[in-house]
Amino acid sequence: MLTVQNLSKRFGKKQVLNDISFNAKKGEVTALIGVNGIGKTTIMNCIAGLLPFDKGKVVIDDMPARKVFAE
């Protein structure tokens, strides 16, 4: 399961993500949808560990995502 809790990200003074939370269960189809510039790619980059986030946590199968992708 993927769990994203209270994910927040700021670029300088611009708040891009503000307390984003959701779960995606194994085998479940999940989509991020929204208009351009809403933060979809930023969310995915934070989940993948490509972009550090300011607050919150990302957990994959009970392990912090940073550890999952470091292995």
Helices (H), the chain: 40-47, 65-70
Helix (H) or strand (E) run with residue 24 in it: strand 14-24
Is the pLDDT at 58 greater than 60? The verdict is yes
Q: What domains appear along the chain, each with residue ranges and CATH number?
A: 2-70 (3.40.50.300)
Residues 6+ apart with CB under 8 A from 65: 47, 48, 49, 58, 59
Is the pLDDT at 71 greater than 60? The verdict is no
| Residue-level pLDDT at 20 | 95
Structure tokens at 71: 């292995």
CA-CA-CA-CA torsion for 35, 69, 65, 36, nearest 10 degrees? -10
| Residue-level pLDDT at 19 | 97
